[in-house]
Each structure stands twice: as structure tokens, then as C-alpha cells.
């Protein structure tokens, strides 16, 4: 891919299901935690949401006749296989763990503090130079 705007060929290439699945597998291989959050957890949440939407009672059409509930879900092409695989298996208890954000690690806190101190130091240095 180039650094400029994508060409029509590049856009069409990205629409190919095989290429997308290959890219997702590569990402999950190189960055397993990122793959877990962006693919697996989203698949679980999307499946759960669609299952909830489809569980509503069918509409009554008249005496003894009902119309089944129809649900349309618009999801990214990379999530279709995961949603299909998980359909009917996601339970209420599967959702709270993926909805909680883990506390920042000690190294994350150190990096955050270092950046704050560096920015404050630059501001003070800039004010001193004026």
C-alpha cells in the first residue's frame, strides 16, 4: 500500500474475505492481546447483542398466527465468521468480564507519570527561556 490515497484496486483487494481473514490472523499472531480484544471480545459482544435482539416475542398476526422476529445486524466482514461460530453459545455471564477495563499496569503508570513530568518540564523550560 502507498502513503497516498488508496487506489480502486487496493480498495477491492481489501474487500476480499480471504485477505481480511489473513490480516486478522497475522495481527492475532503478532499481537495476541490486541487480537483477543478487537476480534474475539467484539465477536462475543456482537453475538450476545444480536441474540438478545432476536429473543423478543413474535408478533401476533391474528388468532393462532404469529410472525417470527426478524433482526438485521450490520457488522464488519471480519466478525461474521466469529458471530456464526458463537451463535447460541454466548451466555449472560460471558459479558461482564469483557466489559470491565483492567487497572493500568505498574509500567503503564510509570510511563504516564514520565510523560506528565516531561511535558511540565518543557513548559517550565519554555517559560524560563521567554
- Taking only the tens of pLDDT, the chain with its 130 residues reads 446 788 888 777 777 767 777 777 788 788 888 878 878 899 999 999 999 988 876 676 777 777 777 888 898 888 888 999 999 999 999 999 999 888 888 998 999 999 999 999 999 999 998 8
86 and 95 Cβ atoms separated by less than 8 Å: no
Helix 77-86 with 42-54: angle, nearest 10 deg: 60
DSSP string, 1-19: --SSSPPHHHHHHHT-HHH
Give first-to-last CA distance, the chain, whole Å. Answer: 45
What is the pLDDT at residue 1?
47
Q: CA dist 80 to 14, 39, 57, 73, 76, Å? A: 16, 11, 25, 10, 7
What is the pLDDT at residue 24?
76
pTM: 0.62
What is the pLDDT at residue 127?
93
DSSP 67: E
Amino acid at each position: 500500500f502507498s502513503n497516498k490515497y488508496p487506489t480502486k484496486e487496493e480498495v477491492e483487494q481489501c474487500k476480499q474475505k480471504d485477505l481480511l481473514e489473513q490480516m486478522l490472523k497475522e495481527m492475532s499472531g503478532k499481537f495476541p492481546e490486541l487480537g483477543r480484544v478487537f476480534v474475539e471480545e467484539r465477536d462475543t459482544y456482537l453475538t450476545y447483542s444480536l441474540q438478545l435482539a432476536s429473543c423478543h416475542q413474535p408478533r401476533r398476526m391474528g388468532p393462532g398466527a404469529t410472525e417470527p422476529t426478524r433482526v438485521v445486524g450490520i457488522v464488519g466482514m471480519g466478525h461474521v465468521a466469529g458471530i456464526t461460530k458463537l451463535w447460541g453459545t454466548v451466555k449472560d455471564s460471558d459479558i461482564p468480564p469483557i466489559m470491565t477495563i483492567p487497572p493500568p499496569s505498574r509500567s503503564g503508570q510509570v510511563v504516564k507519570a514520565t510523560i506528565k513530568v516531561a511535558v511540565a518540564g518543557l513548559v517550565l523550560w519554555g517559560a524560563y527561556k521567554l
